[in-house]
Amino acid sequence: MSLREALRIPSREITDETVYRDRRRIVGALAASGALGLAGCAKADAPPPPPASKIDPARMRAGFTTNETRTTYQDVTTYNNFYEFGTGKADPANAPRTLRTSPWSVAVGGQCAKPGRLSLDDLLKGLKPEERVYRHRCVEGWSMVIPWLGVPLGDVLKRFEPTSKAKFVAFTTLADRKQMPGLSYPALDWPYREGLRIDEAMHPLALLATGIYGKPLLQQNGAPLRLVLPWKYGFKSIKSIVAITFVEHMPFTSWNDEASDEYGFFSNVNPAVDHPRWSQKTERRIAGTGSKLFADRIPTRLFNGYAEQVGSMYAGLDLRKWF
């Protein structure tokens, strides 16, 4: 079952596309004008500022790898979610290689002293990619263990000197119909967008990944660069990033826009907070199982087992409200 299939049928599929888009535009305009009484609501709905949490390097390193059985390269590269290339699990791997990953540039802007559009090489200049073996838990209930290759996201972001107004970071995927056949269908409100609180983005576990198993990322895994946030559900790990923007307020995120009661902004893995339509208490690990794609169910852990590393960022936060 794909994430899309798992969702209730969205209004756009039962409403004519133009009517649907128009309704979105009108609701947006009314909200902006305050006519729907949402203006105040948005403010009240901002999460509390993060607590001051200190990073203990030794504790962080303990999260950089795991002895758990790794998911095979074959499974990591053939069982994917990348709706720009189709909504089926095999679609992204089977799609024609239409994504042009070179040249590639990323526009970084917003609340920072040094905005700019950089080539991929310049963006990562001087940073040595490291291997991080992380658990990867999809909101749908399956999980993998993947050796990623990447650089700490915070090391890249610091280069742009975010200002004190940079409370969040917004990320955007490429949206080019010629390169991404899935964009011809309104599966999501394209481009795919994600966001993090600034302390989450700066956290040592947050990775800007360029490879898997020592090889450059394939198209289906989000070439040439994507996020990896092992303590959050997989959909936060946005692929094929072309823009990074420092913002003051909680940014738009694609899945939250699609169904806000089902996909919260934080989306931290949490077995105690069920998805409205299924439990999140257990998961099926895709790892070392050969032809048996799904292994038996195992318990899901708070923050996907990274509570030691990331828990302090959420001290005092009501994880049911801010799911």
Tell me if 33 sits within 8 A of 111, measured CB to CB. Answer: no
If one asks whether residue 84 binds ligand MTE (CB under 6 A), the answer comes out as yes
Q: Which of 12, 71, 75, 82 binds ligand MTE (CB under 6 A)?
A: 82
The one among 71, 81, 179, 309 contacting ligand MTE by CB under 6 A: 81
Express the helix, strand and coil content of the chain in percent, nearest 5 each: 30, 20, 50
Interaction of residue 267 with ligand MTE, rule CB under 6 A: no
- Shorter beta-carbon distance to ligand MTE: residue 192 or 303: 192
Does 231 engage in binding with ligand MTE (CB under 6 A)?
no
Q: What's the min distance (Å) between Cβ of 294 and ligand MTE?
A: 14
- In the complex, least distance from residue 138 CB atom to ligand MTE, rounded to whole angstroms: 4
User: Left (φ > 0), alpha (ψ -120 to 50) or beta: where does 193 sit?
Assistant: beta
Check binding of 202 to ligand MTE (CB under 6 A): no
**Minimal CB distance to ligand MTE: which residue?**
234
User: Binding of ligand MTE at residue 192 (CB under 6 A)?
Assistant: yes
192 or 246, CB closer to ligand MTE? 192
Peptide bond before residue 230 is cis, with ω within 30 degrees of 0: no
Give the residue, chosen from 234, 251, 264, 305, that forms a contact with ligand MTE under the rule CB under 6 A: 234
Q: If binding is defined by CB under 6 A, does position 104 make contact with ligand MTE?
A: no
Which CA distances in Å does 67 have to 147, 193, 295? 11, 32, 17
Stretch that binds ligand MTE, among 116-124, 127-135, 236-244, 312-320 (CB under 6 A): 236-244
Tokens standing for residue 210? 């360029």
- Taking residues 1 to 40 in sequence order and writing x for each that binds ligand MTE by CB under 6 A, - otherwise, the string is --x-------------------------------------
Pairing of strands 105-110, 241-247: parallel
**Residue from 63, 75, 83, 99 binding ligand MTE (CB under 6 A):** 83
At residue 207, φ and ψ (nearest 5 deg) are -120, 140
CA distance 11 to 6: 15
Q: Name 52's Cβ contacts closer than 8 Å, sequence gap at least 6.
A: none
Q: Which is nearer to ligand MTE, 240 or 256 (CB)?
A: 240
DSSP code string of 6-44: HSPPPHHHHS-HHHHHHHHHHHHHHHHHTTTSHHHHHHH
Indicate which single residue of 112, 238, 243, 302 sits in contact with ligand MTE (rule: CB under 6 A): 238
Count of other CB atoms within 10 angstroms of residue 70: 17
Tell me which residues in 37-76 interact with ligand MTE (CB under 6 A).
Answer: none
Assigned token pair, 152: 């700490």
Q: Give least dist CB 238 to ligand MTE, A.
A: 5
Rule CB under 6 A: choose which of 219, 221, 253, 267 binds ligand MTE.
221
Pair type for strands 142-152 and 130-137: antiparallel
The residues of the shown chain that bind ligand MTE, judged by CB under 6 A, are 3, 80-84, 136, 138, 173, 192, 221, 234-235, 237-240
